[in-house]
Structure 1
Amino acid sequence: MINQFRKLNPVNLIFLLAYTFFMRVAIFYETPAHLNFDFLEPFARLLINVDLDNAFSAQTNIFIAAVLVYVQALIFNRIVNNHNLLGKPSFLPGLMFVTGTSLFMPFMTLNPALICNFLLIWIIDKFLKLGKSANSINTVFDIGMIIAIGTLVYFPFMGMLLMIFLALLLFRSFNWREWVAGLVGFITVFFFLAVFYYWKDNLSSFYQIWKPLGNKFPSVFKINYNDYLVLIPVAVIIILASLQLRENFFRSFISTRKSFQLLFFMFIVAIVSFYLKPNFRTWHFLLCVPPGAVLLAYYFSNAKKRWFYETLFLLFVLSVQYFLFV
């Protein structure tokens, strides 16, 4: 299967679509009785009053989520290939993206993190273009606005603001205007939101939006480790990918090295930003999928022994299906 997706063959569009629904067999087999879809954060509903909580049946919810994942995988695959992160074009990024979004049942439903992944993929593309642009102030401003829009959908997405400064450190020489542009872009969106709150004579509620920023990072975690055994194959592949990347690191283009460093930091930021939401759900970690999928794709793109990487991927898929059913 890996060998098939190593080729940039149009027939893989059909295979990827079939694979997307195959990985969701478990949730279609055991469809929950009811699924909520909180499209926006409560503080944004005063501005955009769209109630989709009970708009879809459970089956429709899952089906739409699968279609969105497929579309995201295609966009993501194109961006990774355009920036030549794997050295040669393939459908592996899309394949790994779909696999990553199928690790847990909550990943397979409509949720704010799934919607934010469209924005995350978009800003990944813009980040990777920073080093190729003579004047990136407009790009950084746009990224700030995109992050603000994502924050309206899912508050922890605000953590991606940190990525603006990390990206500028990696790709650009210091220019204070670029550093300020991202913050101005972010503030612009919330300035208009504040004006709307003021117009509605509800400015005190606007201040409540920022209370989660005062949360202390949790020191104790209640984790049922059996629920996360499926991550063992992921960890094995990431370790192999890291070794492969280390071996080729100094033989890669400088822009490629910086791109992988950026994606690594994005992966970490996506994980730790959960503390911005006191009652976060497992689907929060969908934000880790785009940067993580590039690393997984890198391993399978550069692995040499076909029998090993094909067997490894097969075991990975089977373990995901096993834990989803069990």
Structure 2
Amino acid sequence: MTGTFKQKNSGNTLVLLVYGLILKFSIFLRPQGPLVQPDDDHFLYKWLIGFLEPLHLWPGVYSLIAFLLLYSQALLLNRVCNAQKMMARPNYLVAMSYMLITSLFPDWNYFSAPLLINSLLIWLFYRLNTLYNASKPGSVVFNAGLIMGFITLLYQPAIVFVFFLMLAVFIVRPFRIKEWLIGLLGVTAPYYFIGLVLYLTNQWDWKKLQPDISFSLPPMPDSIFITISLGLLVLPFIIGGFFVQNNLSKMFIQVRKSWSLLLVCLVTSTLIILINGGTNYVNWSLCAVPLAVFHGAAWFYPQGKLIPSIMHWLIFGYAMYLNYWLPA
């Protein structure tokens, strides 16, 4: 399967759809409504849930939306990586990796605020990559900040991603305080307009927009399966990071900066795990976007086919067991 996705073949779009359906069809067999985390969800997601609840939609509808989001995210992330020449040749391995690793935790497959954020995070990664050669960097930074503002309004712990935006501008561009201020202005713009709407409709309450965050340790793995899933996320990441490091000298400066952005994004996503604690692993899904690219490198760079194939089918088989046969 890694050999199939290693080729840039337009037919792989359909193969990826079948691949994803095999991995994730369990969400249609055991459909759930949108995941709600009162302590973590922010204004926009709460508003969306408040809009959807009176419709009394069948839970399978949310499963379908979640699958389409995951599939579109996989394709979009793969397209961005190919456009930025993250690897030596275009391929579909990043898309395959994204569908695979999001199957290692059942909660990652359901409609939630972090799932929506991953779409915006991929868009943000693309916008930041265009910043390197942008003729008008100010507008790019503002648009990136605008995306970041909507991300923080969906999920309160995602406020940490503002530091990712600042670090990303520092990595991609020479230091200019003006661009940092423009980025922060973009972050605050959605708050300004939503606050204005609330004020004009006599619903103003600062607490509706103010992030309420606290720091605590993430939940300890309560089963061997969580530990295995974490191990299967980390091992290919280490392998992919090793190959990326060995091939950095062959890459253009812009591509090196793209890999640096991914690493900073991963570190920031990991910090989010420490915010507001929680008893589940939904917020861990924010690590899926950068991890999928490093996993793609782990499948792409090895010369032999045997070891990557064995590792892939072991992870695939485990994900199938986790989603279909493991009791919920």
TM-score (ref. length: structure 2) = 0.89
**Secondary structure of 2:111's match?**
coil
Tell me the residue number matched to 2:75: 74
What is the aligned partner in structure 1 of residue 287 from structure 2? Answer: 288
Q: Is the 8 A contact 1:8 1:91 kept in 2?
A: yes
Distance in 2 separating the partners of 1:81 and 1:43: 34
Do 2:42 and 2:152's aligned partners in 1 also have CA atoms closer than 8 Å?
Answer: no
Structure 2 residue aligned with 1:244: 243
Counterpart amino acid of 2:262? L
Answer yes or no: is 1:51 the counterpart of 2:48. Answer: no
Aligned-partner Cα distance in 2 for 1:275–1:55: 34
Supply the AA of the counterpart residue of 2:221.
I
The one-letter code sitting in structure 1 at the alignment partner of 2:259 is F
Distance 1:200 1:282 in 2: 37
Residues 35 and 58, structure 1, Cα contact 8 Å, conserved in 2: yes
Does residue 303 (structure 1) correspond to residue 305 (structure 2)? The answer is no
Structure 2 residue matching 1:67: 3-state secondary structure: helix
Equivalent in the alignment of 1:230 = 229
Residues 136 and 15 (structure 1 numbering): CA distance in 2 closer, same or farther, change over 3 Å?
same
Give the paired residue count: 321
Query: Following the alignment from structure 2 to structure 1, what is the Cα–Cα distance between the partners of residues 107 and 134?
Result: 39
Mean Cα deviation higher: 8-17 or 187-196: 187-196
Question: Is this contact kept in 1: 2:217–2:277, CA < 8 A?
Answer: no
- Output the amino acid matched with 2:13: L
| Amino acid in structure 1 at the alignment position of 2:210 | W
Residue identity (%): 22
Matching of residue 64 in structure 1 with residue 65 in structure 2: yes
1:108-257 matches, within 5 Å, as 108-203=109-204, 205-207=205-207, 209-213=209-213, 215=214, 217-219=215-217, 221-228=219-226, 229-257=228-256
**Does the 8 A contact of 2:42 with 2:209 survive in 1?**
no
* CA deviation profile, 1:240-285 (whole Å, cap 9, x unmatched): 1122122222332222222111101101211222444454742222
Measure, in 2, the Cα distance between the counterparts of 1:57 and 1:16: 26
Deviation for aligned residue 1:123: 0.4
Letter of the 2:271 counterpart: V
In structure 1, the residue corresponding to 2:132 is in which secondary structure? Answer: helix
SS in 1 for 2:246: helix
Q: 1:196 to 1:274 in 2, by over 3 A?
A: farther
CA contact (8 A) 1:230 1:323 kept: no
Distance in 2 (CA, whole Å) between partners of 1:106 and 1:116 is 15
Contact 1:274 1:280 in 2 (8 A): no
Distance in 1 separating the partners of 2:235 and 2:47: 45
Which residue number corresponds to residue 268 of structure 1?
A: 267
Which residue identity is paired with 2:216? P
- Aligned residues of 1:112 and 1:153 also touching (Cα < 8 A): yes
C-alpha distance in 1 between matches for 2:155 and 2:262: 20
Q: Distance in 2 between matches of 1:96 and 1:106?
A: 17
Cα deviation for residue 212 of structure 1 reads 1.8
Q: Which residue of 2 aligns with 1:27?
A: 27
Question: Contact (CA 8 Å) 1:119, 1:146: kept in 2 or not?
Answer: yes
C-alpha distance in 2, partners of 1:46/1:316?
Answer: 35
Which range moves more in the overlay, 82-91 or 99-108? Answer: 99-108
Change (3 A) 1:256 1:45: closer
Structure 2 runs not aligned, ≥5 long: none
